[in-house]
Amino acid sequence: MHPTLTPGTTLQNRYRVLQELGHGGFGRTYLAEDLGRFNERCAVKELEPQQGDQFSDKALQLFQREAAILYSIEHPQIPKFQAIFEENQRLFLVQDYIDGVTYRDLLNQRIQQGIAFSEAEVRQFLQQILPVLAHIHNKGIIHRDISPDNIMQRRPDSLPVLIDFGVVKEVVTRIQPPGTLSQATSVGKLGYAPSEQMQSGRAYPSSDLYALAVTAIVMLTGKEPQEIFDDVNLSWHLPTTLSPGLLQVLRRATSYRPGDRYQSVSEMAQALGAGVTASDTAAASPSQVRTVAVGRQYQPTRVGAATQAPNYTAPVPIAEPASVWENPWAVAVIGGILALLAGLGGWTLVSVLNRTPAPTPVPSPEITLDPQQPQPTPEPTAEPTPETSPVEYSQNLSIAPGSDRTVRGSLRSNETINYRLNATAGQVLLARMTGEGVLVTVLTPEGEPVDSSAQRVLNWQGTLPVDGEYIVQLRPVQGLEQSDYELEVSLSAQPDPEATVEPEPEPSVEPSPTVEPQPEPAPAPNPNANVVEQRVQIPPGQTSVQVSGQVNQDRSRRYIVNAQEGQVLALELPSVSGPVTLDVRFPNGELIPDASRVLSWQGQLPSSGNYIVDVSSPRPSNYVLTISAN
């Protein structure tokens, strides 16, 4: 088990730990601030392997796959999954920080006062949390760990927020060595999770609804599931004071057999809504027909008036009119009318049968589609939306000099994985890819391709120029939804002696009149010398983007930002490790008057075009630059 991170520790040069929030069977949770997002607070969760000190490559690949699923969830009552990374053989998750309190703590506060949640509060709780479950179930995701501990009441709006997805714990459980599973690594809490989930690990939408119903019962009673569950009859002791509608919903949702429960959120929500309106009419007769009292209208009497006996008079008999059928003239007229109607009806029927059927009325009820939309199935176009957001993973690649290593995995179209390894100048690095669906880029410690042949290729071999941490970056070929890969990486045992010999003898040839030493040590007069240029595009739907790198006295970075007239361009350096400054220029190259050697700049653009942002420093420095255009 790794030691607890101390406040002030910075992970990935970005997440600064403020304090520990909690510790469970699967790791610790810390409150941190994101230095790359203006010190915005976030929750950093460290996952600890149950056996050994680190996760295997298979474990990391499995977890990255599940992390991509969590990243696709977009709901205001679910913390946004931000990143996953590995540092010092420790695995971390980053999510939005929720300012609130768990329903477990709220219940404990009430128990100390001798009360629990009322039926009205529980009904409101269920109506607010059921849409959240519907959202994740529609994506094929089962939470697996619903309980009062994993639902928080957010302080700003008092809405319930669903936290700690059991899919994360399931991954940790599935990657344990054989024979190491225990109750501590079971997915789901005992008493809250249904039997099929605890015994076989299988979970369905009805499993989440079961756990949610148990959570509601615990909130209503203030007692733990073990205290109110009948092991003999496999039933729950529910409060008799509940309305019949809510009682019926909770009983069905907590049925022992999955097939007897509600099979979807909408089914349970409809039953809950029906229970609200039917609670006052549960004692009505089965026929559901109202009984209406029939009688004489009530005549009120004034207070103090003498009471008089009702004055009844004998009913006057009313003579009934003679029947129409007793009048022969009436019978004759009615018979004539009936004969006329019969003749008209027969003539109409014969004319209809002899008429050729018109073809137009047959297809008319079928023409229900919009003529501008001939394709009957436009839904699949909405499928790729979760894939539009880029996802980038980072993983350390431990490889000893003189050895090689092979890693395997799978990447979706929006995913990138960075394998990091430490190497020495002069060593020969080989990166070979099996298959054609994924391409390799080898980056220097400064984040640039090692050379022109090391970018988006299947194989690369070359001598490394400097000491430091190199990145072997994998990205799928454009147009493929998903690609499997097998990467072989090898590192030479000793630096190449030919590569380590620097061209230093040249300065010693001073007597030669043909050697001009001035151009070599003085590149400064050329403004384009040692300038690394990069074009920056802000993705659709976003207003800002972040870039980072290294600069020094001989090397600067230039970013080309395409912006439109009237937009407000904002530049800021939220994180630097030295005297880094910015120069901002118009598209024609002219320096903006108030944007020379600044740490931040903001202004409305007078024209459209490619604006230039130069980042420089008199000594080696790292930086993070935020570029916004609104």
Regions of the chain short of the pLDDT cut 50? 172-186, 275-322, 356, 358-387, 496, 498-504, 506-526, 528-529
Q: Does domain 391-498 have CATH number 2.60.120.380?
A: yes
CA distance 5 to 17: 7
CA distance 598 to 616: 11
CA distance 308 to 368: 72
List beta partners, residue 625: 547
Q: What are the angstrom distances between the C-alpha of 226 and each of 81, 231, 529?
A: 33, 9, 74
* Residue position matching structure tokens 């436009």: 378
Q: Are strands 581-585 and 609-616 parallel, antiparallel or unpaired?
A: antiparallel
In whole angstroms, what separates CA 382 from the centre of its chain?
Answer: 16
Cβ burial of 541 (10 Å; 0-12, 13-18, 19+) is exposed
pLDDT given at position 76: 93
Residue type, 385: T
CATH fold match for the domains 391-498 and 531-629: yes
Tell me if residue 451 is catalytic. no
pLDDT given at position 147: 95
Domain 531-629: CATH architecture, name and number where available: Sandwich (2.60)
SS3 content of the chain, % helix, strand, coil (to 5): 25, 30, 45
pLDDT given at position 512: 45
Catalytic residue among 34, 145, 583, 614: 145
pLDDT given at position 187: 60
The closest of 132, 120, 144 to 197, measured between CA atoms, is 144
Could you state, in order of their start, the residue ranges of all structural domains in the chain? Answer: 391-498, 531-629
Residues 67/80, Cβ–Cβ less than 8 Å: no
* Residue position matching structure tokens 């001989």: 554
Residues 410/485, Cβ–Cβ less than 8 Å: yes
pLDDT given at position 326: 52
Entry pTM: 0.46
**Which residues, in sequence order, are CB contacts of 299 under 8 Å at separation 6+?**
none
pLDDT given at position 347: 67
